[in-house]
Structure 1
Amino acid sequence: MYSQSIHQRVMTVSGSGEIKAQPTVAVIQLGVVTESQSLTQAQQENARVMNQVIESIVKLGLPREAIQTADYSISPQYDYDSGTQVFRGYQVMNMISVTIEDINQTGEVIDTAVQNGANQVSNIQFSVKNPEVLYQRALSEALNDAYMKARSMARTMGLQLEPTPVKVIERMQGGGIPLAKAETFAAATPIEPGQLEIRASVEVKFLFFS
């Protein structure tokens, strides 16, 4: 049917799709930082406080498998006096990652951890339990968007479009993008997860003829 080169009869269009969803899962990082001139004392105090933090979280009903070590570091600390480096002691930092499947419990988990000795709270992320399902919906919207664009261009230029594409390229993997983040930490920490955007993008090639 097509006597000319395929490159002369290919229309390339892009399509995008977006699905918005309420987050159902929160992941936060909580940490304990201790300092002492004695490394052993700094480690022991850090372990004592972190165990206290973990036990307090478990008492809220979170399973232990929802708590994982995210980072552990030991670093010497120095002061500077008239340009001279003076050893101050050691700093031990232990960070844990906590996955909270009841997102309404996020503020309570933060407050409880802080009350029990956590002095670092960071990197709050929101997601859904089955993001791949939402991504497939976004991908379907992206493909439909590309097809509608191709039909519109073909109609405008008086061309006939083959409805079945000859090539489809997935351009972007989907992921949750928070539209709102946790507010400043305080007593009775307010957490506003907002919505997530699950996005997909494709490049589609159609054959056309006049």
Structure 2
Amino acid sequence: MKGGMRVYYRHQESRIITVTGVGSLTVQPEIAKVLLEVVTEGWELNVIQQENARTVERVLAGLMQLGIPQEDIQTTVYDIAPKYDYVDGVQEFRGYVVTHGLTVKIQDINRTGAVIDTAVQNGVNRVSNIQFTIEERDVYYRRALTDALEDAYSKAQTLAEGMQVVLAPHPIRITEKIEEPPVVFQAYSAVETATPIQPGQIVINASVKAQFVY
């Protein structure tokens, strides 16, 4: 101490517990989406384009007879490509391939097999995938997110009790870990009939990183 001045030294260390909380919900799929493709091959482009278009018209008519609304049917693939084979290392032209793909949204997943069978019967010769999902994902995700936060606090509380310290009741920082929306895919072979489709279940996960002071 000099000249009557007192100097104080204080050291304050931040004490933080960092944990990851997870939450999950299992829900039944509500809707299905399927990609139905008509693939036509031939030598004369105009001819196979017309043939492809007629087939697609039959497919559309069949889907609408099943009660699929027009707004739930969308062209998502249309491709015209030359076809080549390689013979003794030489590229040989083998005609053209026209592909017209329709993505169909099926509101009643129990009718997914019937939709596929009807489409195949009317000329669809490629089904790329079947995607099962839910309409209101955010509602379920928020529930899982709440569970994740509760899980984070529970873990932090367990650690604090183990260290015999008092945990602050509210986190000082929360970081949400974003995940891709869940979907369930099913494969399908166009040679099957009376197709049994099992939608299974969807697991919605949420995860947060939380920091607590003690």
Shared topology, TM-score over 0.5?
A: yes
2:210 to 201, 204, 210: 204
5+ residue gaps, structure 2, are: 1-10
CA RMSD of aligned residues (A): 1.5
> 1:106-131: per-residue Cα shift (whole Å, max 9, x none)?
00000000000000102211111211
Residue 42 (structure 1) aligned with residue 48 (structure 2): yes
Map Cα deviations across residues 2-32 of structure 1 (whole Å, 9 max, x no partner): x724xx3111100111000111100110000
What does 1:166-177 align with in structure 2 at a 5 Å threshold?
166-173=172-179, 175-177=181-183
Call closer, same or farther: CA 1:146–1:174 in 2, change over 3 Å.
farther
Q: 8 Å contact 2:127–2:188 — kept in the other structure?
A: no
Count of residues in Structure 1 that have an aligned counterpart in Structure 2: 203
3-state DSSP class of the match of 2:186? coil
The aligned residue for residue 74 of structure 1 is 80
Matched residue, 1:51: 57
1:4 aligns with 2:12: yes
Is 2:16 the counterpart of 1:17? no
Q: Which runs of 5+ in 1 are unaligned?
A: none
User: CA 1:165–1:174 in structure 2 vs 1: closer, same or farther (change >3 Å)?
Assistant: farther
Match of residue 32 from structure 1: 38
Q: TM-score, normalised by structure 2?
A: 0.90
Q: Secondary structure at the match of 2:147?
A: helix
Deviations 1:60-101 (A, max 9, x none): 001000011111111101122332222110101111110001
Matches of 2:99 and 2:189, distance apart in 1? 22
CA–CA separation in structure 1 for the residues paired with 2:147 and 2:54: 52
Give how far 1:176 is off: 2.2
Counterpart check, 1:181 vs 2:189: no
Q: Pairwise mapping of residues 21-170 of structure 1 onto structure 2 (< 5 A)? A: 21-170=27-176
Larger Rg: 2
Letter in 2 for 1:181: Q
- SS class of match (2:66): coil
What percentage of residue pairs aligned between the two structures are identical?
47
